[in-house]
Structure 1
């Protein structure tokens, strides 16, 4: 897997959370919890003139944005994710007085932001409910033999926000026939065939799919109501 380079952030420096034990090339201190790469060699924050900064973990968007605005000097903290093969953002290093000012600003409008988050959550819930209903209706249109409760369950699973499933893809949001059919096929495979049991018994995925193909096709034919479906 190709390793993505350390990302650059306009206006900010980049500090790395190393996965391996690293020592500063200048003062030899280590192992370092955070480091800066200068000319390809690690430097501790003190040697990189960043030792006075404090770490703000990611998670609070408003606090992060305001701390960055308040801090004359700041750095993005990243850590390499082996599974994804890329560096992920973990937080910021900011000046301590700047963080205090940002926290004070957040306290002033905390209630307003809480109400706004609640409104946004309700709006998203309504949007998700409408989309799930539309997805379920499209399943029933393509597969009129599919029970209504199954169509709803398939639609809810495929379109769950943040799941990365087919219903959240561009094709899924457009309710294309291919995306809807893919969601139905996946549901039938896991619920109506012994596919999961085969995987748990050590059968390779492609072989398991081959074995359950007749049962899968049978359910799809029944739901589609046509002899040549599937």
Structure 2
């Protein structure tokens, strides 16, 4: 059963508390009803028109920024609550504010949303430029360590290893620091998958470590060829 009196905590920082009744209620003044919303005056229910709040519009809870701004813009406002029988307490459902105030608040929030959208675009461009510079540096380090590696292949390895959010070696701390170990790992992974029958062995059911042992010589031969600028790509094919 709903309590007879509304707790003060139901509507902090608000002079007016409007109730969404859980049982049909008639206005004690004009006798209209059942009321979707009412305000208690001297323990008697009054409709919003009789309480001089009928010109306000309801803004449901959920958008904290919009609610805060609507109340800031509104000269008159009220908190709307409803009694939750299961929890035994009143819970906020939203606010009543002046319609022009709500329109102004919506415009301010839209302006903020546009600012956030533009900031996201700027941030995305900045990250893309950073990623491009990093991929270029990663490819340059590949070519320094493996001068015989074709340039387009080095760029391909770099782009794959340094893809943002991929969790690959290029995005690790060592990869971002362009450590030799991380760069070599990226090159080895590329050679293993693209220049040896490693993937086919896995698909045929060979355990990963056994497959790696089987193609280790081919991987090393390709790495040796790329370290030696005098050996051409055509001399090291393994497939």
User: What TM-score does the superposition give when structure 2 sets the normalisation length?
Assistant: 0.52
1:96: how far off? Answer: 5.9
Cα distance in 1, alignment partners of residues 206 and 109 from structure 2: 54
Runs of 4+ in 1 over 4 A off after TM superposition: 103-106
* 1:192 paired to 2:195: yes
Larger Rg: 2
Deviation string 1:23-43 (CA, Å, 9 cap, x unpaired) is xxxxxxxxxxxxxxxxxxxxx
CA distance in 2, matches of 1:215, 1:139: 19
Q: Deviations over 1:46-105 (max 9, x none)?
A: xxxxxxxx9x8xxxxxx7x969x99xxxxxxxxxxxxxxxxxxxxxxxx7649xx9x956
Distance (whole Å) between structure 2 residues aligned to residue 167 and residue 97 of structure 1: 49
Aligned residues: 138
Q: Quick one: distance in 2 between partners of 1:214 and 1:224? A: 15
Gaps of 5+ in 1: 1-53, 57-62, 71-94
What are the superposed Cα offsets for residues 88-132 of structure 1, whole Å, 9 maximum, x if unpaired? xxxxxxx7649xx9x956434111111111111111111100000
C-alpha RMSD of the superposition? 2.9
CA–CA distance in structure 2, aligned partners of residues 96 and 114 of structure 1: 29
Aligned to 2:161: 158
Instruction: For 1:110 and 1:149, locate their aligned partners in 2 and report how far apart those are by CA, in whole Å.
Output: 41
Which residue of 1 is the match for residue 226 of structure 2?
223
Q: Separation in 1 of the partners of 2:130 and 2:109?
A: 29
Aligned to 2:140: 137
The 1:109/1:182 distance shift into structure 2, 3 A limit, reads same
**Residue 123 (structure 1) aligned to one of 79, 101, 126:** 126
| 1:16-165 equivalent positions in 2, closer than 5 A | 97=94, 104=106, 106-165=109-168
Unaligned ranges ≥5, structure 2: 1-59, 70-91, 96-101, 230-239
Deviations 1:162-198 (A, max 9, x none): 0010101110000000000000000000000000011
> 1:208 aligned to 2:208?
no
TM-score under structure 1 length normalisation: 0.54
